[in-house]
Amino acid sequence: MPTTIGACPRPGTDAALALGMMNVIINEDLYDHDFFEKWTYGFEELRERVQEYPPSKVSEITWVPEDQIIRAARLIANSKPAAMQWGLVVDLFMTPTAMACADVVLPAATYPEKDGLRLGDGLQRGEVINKVTTVGEAKSDAEINLMIGKRLNPEAWSWDNIEDMLSCMIESTGMTFPEMREKAPVYLPFEH
């Protein structure tokens, strides 16, 4: 049996796919009974709900072949631990490619919507990028990385905000990000 199955559901149908796979896992008794009895709430309601999503119906909804749904469900149930990969896009605009391929689309910040650092004219001159506005829920790449990093490995991403993270990046200058913002451009020490 292969270790990966590349299920590519029709956009917007991933929840139906998950319910279809749970249908197989529950009906074929492939789940950890002890775990569900001790650590979950509402399992009986879930068992009833997934009966509405047999693999044949889910195949019609998602365009994923029925046998592939069943194989994926069995693979996930028998893998310890199992991991599902999600496609994630960060973009300025909701492009057709993002709509077709991504499970999650995060709105990216444009240049005036983010704080940052810039090294200009070689490594001698440090400058800051000053955020002047916020539009909607757009986030800078640094903000997105910090948010994801804090969830995946909080010890390694210990900063509370972007300002703290940027200050850490320029710690060797003896300045914080707000201090560099006030003094920039800053000419860093250079030896020939």
User: Is the per-residue pLDDT at 192 higher than 80?
Assistant: no
Q: Is residue 88 part of a domain?
A: no
Closest CA to 92 of 147, 145, 138: 138
Q: Is residue 151 part of a domain?
A: yes
Give the whole-angstrom CA distance, residue 74 versus residue 107. 35
Tracing tokens 């249908």 back to the chain, one arrives at: 23
Predicted TM-score (pTM) of the model is 0.51
Q: Is 185 left (phi over 0), alpha (psi -120 to 50) or beta?
A: beta
Whether residue 120 sits in one domain with residue 183: yes
Domain range for residue 36? 14-78
Give the whole-angstrom CA distance, residue 42 versus residue 2. 32
pLDDT, tens digit, for every residue of 53-106?
999 999 999 999 999 999 999 988 888 665 556 667 888 888 887 777 777 788
DSSP string, 148-168: HHHHH-TTT---SSHHHHHHH
Q: Is residue 98 part of a domain?
A: no
Whether residue 116 sits in one domain with residue 73: no
| Listed residues 78, 94, 124: the one ending a domain | 78
Q: How many domains does the chain contain in total? A: 2
